[in-house]
């Protein structure tokens, strides 16, 4: 099995346990009675609202009569998830931490941004001008500094390494024309975007206003793909409260994939996108 990060390891364990139970023909309530657990414990393990200990994992896999090799693999994955990643101590909510975990695990990402420059490509000045304005509730300077610090660390971990994920970022023209932080901040941000692409793995495209209406006008989104083929693509959506919605329903994710492809087909890419950005940032 390919190496995994924390969030995809947890997802693999949950999926495997659910599959093993179903192959045995057992209902969740039957498993709970057999192990003398509360009725909700297995539900929470399988839906990811709580983790699973090695002891509980061994109890479940013994009941399901899982092969020793699979048990050893799942035990090792659970032990890996106990290691604390860099974002675990950051002053951010749990949904954001989970998002960063999946982002760190992804091998491919497709992102569409409607009204702001994507976080992974923001300059320090742009993000510090932007972050306070996106919040429904005011925050002190230490919290704002922490959020900016996390975003910069994400850039260092995802964008800068030569072996990072393959990313296609589609930015709406509205995001590029909306002033954030004043003319100088915007000029530097746009100049940064002209140099951001890597031909082999980071592609920046611009969706012009002339492209007309499209499904992305209802909000930005990210689709993530992971090295483990047993884990399906993940759709990520965010709102102004800071809540991040993670969707893994295959049909829904595929519809967003199709929408992204349609929008990308109407976008400026490669040299056309760079020429456009250079004209916006003289």
Residue 281: per-residue pLDDT: 83
Q: Specify the DSSP element, H or E, that contains 169.
A: strand 166-172
**Mean pLDDT across the chain:** 89
CA angle 91–94–97, rounded 5-degree value: 75
CB atoms within 10 A of CB 201: 16
pLDDT score at 206: 97
Q: Are 61 and 74 in contact (CB under 8 A)?
A: yes
- Distance, in Å, from the CA atom of 123 to the CA atom of 193, rounded to the nearest integer, reads 9
- pLDDT of the residue at 282: 67
**Domains by residue range for the chain, with CATH:** 6-81 (1.10.260.40), 87-280 (3.30.870)
What's the pTM value of the predicted model, to 2 decimals? 0.76
pLDDT of residue 2: 42
Burial class from Cβ neighbours inside 10 Å (0-12, 13-18, 19+) for residue 10 reads buried
**Distance of CA 31 to CAs 18, 27, 40, 99, 163, Å?**
11, 7, 11, 31, 43
- Listing from the earlier edge strand, what are the strands of the sheet with 166-172? 202-207, 166-172, 108-113, 221-225, 234-238, 244-247
Residue with tokens 């002339």: 210
> What pLDDT digit, counting tens, does each position of 32-91 carry?
999 999 878 998 888 877 788 888 999 999 999 999 999 999 998 888 777 778 888 888
Q: Which residues of the chain have pLDDT under 70?
A: 1-4, 197, 240-243, 282
Residue 210 confidence (pLDDT) = 94
Percentages (nearest 5) of helix, strand, coil residues in the chain: 55, 10, 30
pLDDT on residue 1: 42
Residue 136: the pLDDT is 77
64 in Cβ contact with 209 (< 8 Å) = no
| Alpha carbons 6 and 172: distance in angstroms, whole number | 32
Q: Residue 181: how many CB atoms within 10 A of its CB?
A: 17
Query: Residues 198-214: pLDDT tens digits?
Result: 778 999 999 999 999 99
């Amino acid at each position: 099995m390919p190496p995994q990060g924390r969030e995809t390891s947890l997802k693999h364990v949950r999926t495997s346990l659910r599959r093993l139970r179903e192959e045995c023909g057992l209902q969740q309530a039957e498993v709970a009675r057999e192990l003398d657990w509360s009725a909700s414990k297995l539900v929470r393990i399988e839906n990811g609202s709580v983790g699973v200990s090695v002891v509980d994992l061994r109890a479940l896999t013994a009941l399901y009569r899982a092969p020793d090799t699979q048990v050893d693999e799942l035990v090792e994955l659970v032990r890996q998830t106990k290691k604390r990643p860099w974002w675990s101590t950051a002053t951010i909510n749990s949904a954001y931490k989970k998002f960063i975990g999946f982002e760190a695990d992804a091998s491919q990402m497709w992102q569409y941004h409607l009204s702001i420059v994507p976080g992974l490509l923001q300059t320090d000045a742009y993000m510090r001008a932007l972050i306070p304005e996106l919040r429904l509730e005011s925050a002190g300077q230490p919290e704002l500094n922490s959020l900016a610090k996390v975003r910069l660390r994400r850039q260092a971990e995802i964008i800068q390494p030569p072996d990072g994920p393959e990313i296609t970022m589609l930015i709406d023209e509205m995001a590029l024309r909306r002033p954030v932080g004043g003319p100088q901040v915007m000029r530097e941000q746009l100049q940064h975007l002209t140099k951001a692409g890597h031909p082999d793995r980071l592609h920046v495209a611009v969706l012009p206003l002339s492209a007309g209406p499209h499904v992305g006008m209802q909000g930005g989104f990210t689709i993530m793909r992971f090295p483990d083929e047993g884990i399906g693509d993940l759709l990520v959506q965010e709102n102004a409260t800071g809540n991040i919605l993670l969707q893994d329903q295959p049909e829904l994710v595929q519809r967003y994939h199709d929408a992204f492809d349609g929008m990308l087909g109407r976008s400026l890419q490669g040299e056309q996108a760079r020429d456009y950005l250079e004209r916006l940032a003289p």
